[in-house]
Amino acid sequence: MKELPELGTNAVVRISRQGGFAAISALSRPREIDFAQCDPTQRGQVCSVLENCLSVARPEVGKGDQRFYRIELQVPRQQEQGELVLQIPEEQAPRELIRLWEKGA
């Protein structure tokens, strides 16, 4: 199972809904959460949601008409930009992830 890197105020989380028969970009409604714009409580809540997603993340999703949530976590490091991608089947997505995608932090 993957582990989350340490997330500081320079982290950015991008959540989108992907897949289905019709690939319509408006339906993916990407949500970007910039940790620099969040207070410590909000950052903690987002980290908690991400931790809960680790156990249901799958390397291959979206076959047929299956929708899934794609989480892209960008963490700038001293020498390079680090990125972690999690893909969560829609039917296994924690309720908190769906809420985060719909409403943000």
Asked, for residue 5, whether it belongs to a domain, the answer is no
Rounded Cα gap, residues 50 and 94, in angstroms:
10
Asked, for residue 39, whether it belongs to a domain, the answer is yes
Asked, for residue 2, whether it belongs to a domain, the answer is no
Asked, for residue 51, whether it belongs to a domain, the answer is yes
31-50 confidence digits (pLDDT tens): 999 999 999 999 999 999 99
Asked, for residue 79, whether it belongs to a domain, the answer is yes
* Predicted local distance difference test score (pLDDT) of residue 66: 85
Asked, for residue 94, whether it belongs to a domain, the answer is yes
* Predicted local distance difference test score (pLDDT) of residue 53: 94
Asked, for residue 3, whether it belongs to a domain, the answer is no
The DSSP line for the chain is ---PPP--TT-EEEEEEEESSS--HHHH--EEEEGGGS-HHHHHHHHHHHHHHHTT--SS---TT-EEEEEEEEEE-SSSEEEEEEEEEGGG--HHHHHHHHH--
Number of domains comprising the chain:
1
Average pLDDT in the 80-89 region?
82
Asked, for residue 1, whether it belongs to a domain, the answer is no
Show the domain range for 60: 10-101
